[in-house]
Structure 1
């Protein structure tokens, strides 16, 4: 066995032991291993116990001698949902959960989640984002600005229909509505709106790069021996010198997040991508650093990314963002959903 493989397994066992000493459950430990070593949860739960596939198969066969398994069976189950793997039947998942001391759901935590197509789930997710503790007034404004009036109405209805917890939610919403109506006729707001109307300009900084951008980067695939292109449509929101980007729904389920700091015409920060659950990388999460130069027209950013590959080598490649629209309303965003 190569020494590098032995070293990785030793580190995995050491990490698992440290987390177990802190009373972490096997599923919690597996989640850490899955994120750090880019393996699915069926593999991560086995690694959390410190077992090889052969050792796991031996423990299975001791527990259920009438239905013994080999390490090849575990390999097939762990490769799924890739084409080279085999989907474990429900009775197998139940026994794996018993073997690993976890829930059946823990074994499938990395499999595609389609709840985002459920309108009720969408409303709750948006509501949870708004209810999340804000770090500043700008943070609150950014969250509310991302939703149009109809979306806000739906979220308010969802919240009002929730558990009361002793609060008269309808009464509270009516008071908030009345307060906002009074605030809207404030002389300060009226003057601000009038000034913007007279100049014909948006009430934003001239160097604000907020908007919908097309993201395109080039990356190598050591397993397939060539380069590929990753594309997303990203909503960028600027607050002072901070730039946050969240990808819009992708046709494959891939998700991208950018966190950048602006210094004049240079944007520097980090990227994080959760790959397609059904793609070559099986939903693995990758992350790294990124630096971009913004052109004078604020309509293009070009630069390079740096990050680790599947075999733990450091890779790099070109990254380019192209401006599409300054309108980040929900209606504008929908026109870019699943277009790449």
Structure 2
């Protein structure tokens, strides 16, 4: 008896993953064989229905809930029956599917031909792909730029275009328009210049009320910085626990929120807790230490120590993988 579509998709996903394929490589295979677009292919690569993908979104971002209909609309785009995902949505989908923003739109047509410079101006228009670039690391940017250059018609022309673009961006970066008034550096700008992105070791302590028992929670998180905003997402944990931190950097202080979904097989049975967090930034920018505040199972307010210690400055997939299930 012929296998169902879902079973055939699952078999292909398992085959490519067994060969060591990344999520993007799995999605590319799904796209080729089943004729779906890249956004649907990345979801299928994870084995999720649209409803299951929405559930996982809502676990990470409960303040911005989505349903299967949202995923359906995003996957139908750019057809008239779909809705174009915003850059913020694309960034979150990239985090959910463990890919780059560029991978989500790899199948969208490129209409770059026309008036010289017009396409580039559109790409760099404020509020356009500049915001998208903030969610990409250097390797992703290099890959996209190489793809553009490959369309130049020859190796020499492509290299010439990249060199010209590099020189132009260097001049723009040195422009006085990008300097704070008076040439000084604000605290937020200083935070951005220092750079907090990387792999961090997170450790918090919870003391049970009325006892001397301590529970220590440890995670490795991948953190990305956008201006003064610091967002850290837990890497795969040996117990299945999931952690997310969102902080505002205002040296020497970082203030924000935390959210943890506990181990589905542990004492707290996959319960989700959240609260506030304030930390002091060490002058080395390699350590943050402070206190967390949050509610307990009986809706009492608890508090404890929390530290973050940087392990790596890179956020590449290879570096992230080295910290999978380390705790």
**TM-score (norm: length of structure 1):** 0.48
**TM-score (norm: length of structure 2):** 0.49
The higher radius of gyration belongs to 1
